[in-house]
Structure 1
Amino acid sequence: MAKSNFTSVNRKAEIVSAAIEVFAEVGYYRATTAQVAQRANISQPYVFKFFSTKELLLLGALEASWSRVIQSFRQVIEQTSPDLLEATLIQEYENIQAMHHNEILLQMQAQTIQEEAIRQSMRNGFKEVREMVLAAFQEAGVDKAEERTMLFLARGLLCNVAVALSMPELMKR
């Protein structure tokens, strides 16, 4: 990869990281691309070089956050014995919440945004996680795999609420 392409990829990732922070802190509707640019230490026009609209920037941020969850879960599924799978997936999600708090807040906000592209991004993320976990549970021989998958997803959503509201008692096992 040429140096300029590498720099562009890095800059785009820096912009997405800054957007995740800004959107999580002030909310998507109140956030501006100028705030994102300031957080990334670049000019606002440079943000638009990569993302022509704030909605596309949010979509990029959501893609990054879903990719993290999906990649993390894939690793767990590939490296964990069937009898420890569910517990290890739960622990991994708790790790993601702790280490990438703003991404979780971003996803929570995006669940309420009515723009179709955002709704589709969220549907796609949830669908991919659901299908991956369900397939892993089925392959691992988890009893009532569909129900366990639903409970796993529901627990994740409740954990999101617990983290957002600083209510750790909602996360007790």
Structure 2
Amino acid sequence: MSPRMSAGARRELAVEAAMAEFAHGGYDGTSTWTIARRVGVSQPYMFRLFPTKHALFLAAAERCFDGIEDVLRAAAAGLHGEDAMAAMAEAYGRLPLDEPDLLRMQLKVHAIAVRDEEVGRLGRIRWARLWRVVSELSGEEPGEIAGFLSAGLLLNVVTAFGVPHATGDDLPRSIADWAEGLRGVETLSDHPDPL
């Protein structure tokens, strides 16, 4: 017989499950019942861990940002300057395959922040922190950091849309080639077959 799991351990499982579920279904499309089932607890117990769905979403959003920071810190370990930036860019470029829920959840956070002040506030705090983390790890100037974070957001978008792309320095050229290949396709009705 396995030992009983503490509320803290269940809370951690709930946050992980919530991140995975919200990453796929978004805030509106994900029920606390689904998350509770994934954790193996009842919905009332889930509400003892987190008083509201909103509180659970905020915890999952925090975990998402923590996960991205962890990836960047691990990639840049022992490096500085351009070497750190290159290593972080390579690691972030692997996220669609290695940890796709991080990117999906990040997109969901952005979408909800438009209408939810508390999520927007969390996003502002965590983006400022992410900026500082990249700055501290690399020592690079603000323009380089802005370029790095911009490329990360571009990667999120092309991944969400299923755009075939390369990573690293080849990302812009691969997207430009893809876009050029769709010249003349301006609306869905211009190209009824899946792209």
How does 1:148-167 map onto structure 2 within 5 Å? 148-167=144-163
Are residue 146 (structure 1) and residue 142 (structure 2) matched?
Answer: yes
Partner of 1:135: 136
Partner of 2:120: 119
CA distance in 1 between counterparts of 2:58 and 2:149 reads: 22
CA distance in 2 between counterparts of 1:146 and 1:104 reads: 23
CA distance in 2 between counterparts of 1:76 and 1:27 reads: 29
CA distance in 2 between counterparts of 1:117 and 1:19 reads: 18
- Work out which of the two has the higher radius of gyration on C-alpha atoms and give 1 or 2: 2
Partner of 2:165: 169
Which ranges of structure 2 fall in alignment gaps of 5 or more residues? 172-195
- Percent identity between matched residues is 24
**Does the Cα contact within 8 Å between 1:76 and 1:85 map onto a contact in 2?**
yes
Partner of 2:12: 13
**Does the Cα contact within 8 Å between 1:158 and 1:170 map onto a contact in 2?**
no
Task: Read off the aligned partner of 1:37 and give its amino acid letter.
Answer: A
Task: Read off the aligned partner of 2:142 and give its amino acid letter.
Answer: E
CA distance in 2 between counterparts of 1:165 and 1:137 reads: 30
Partner of 1:91: 90
SS across alignment from 2:41? coil
Give the CA deviation at 1:7. 2.5
TM-score (norm 1): 0.85
Residues 4-34 of structure 1: CA deviation (Å, up to 9, x unaligned): 7x62222112111211122122221121111
Say what the alpha-carbon RMSD is for the aligned residues.
Answer: 2.0
TM-score (norm 2): 0.76
CA distance in 2 between counterparts of 1:77 and 1:170 reads: 21
Q: Whose helix fraction is larger, Structure 1's or Structure 2's?
A: 1
Residues 80-113 of structure 1: CA deviation (Å, up to 9, x unaligned): 2434111101012123342221221111011121
CA distance in 2 between counterparts of 1:83 and 1:57 reads: 37
**Does the Cα contact within 8 Å between 1:70 and 1:129 map onto a contact in 2?**
yes
Task: Read off the aligned partner of 2:102 and give its amino acid letter.
Answer: E
Equivalenced residues, count: 165
**Does the Cα contact within 8 Å between 1:14 and 1:40 map onto a contact in 2?**
yes
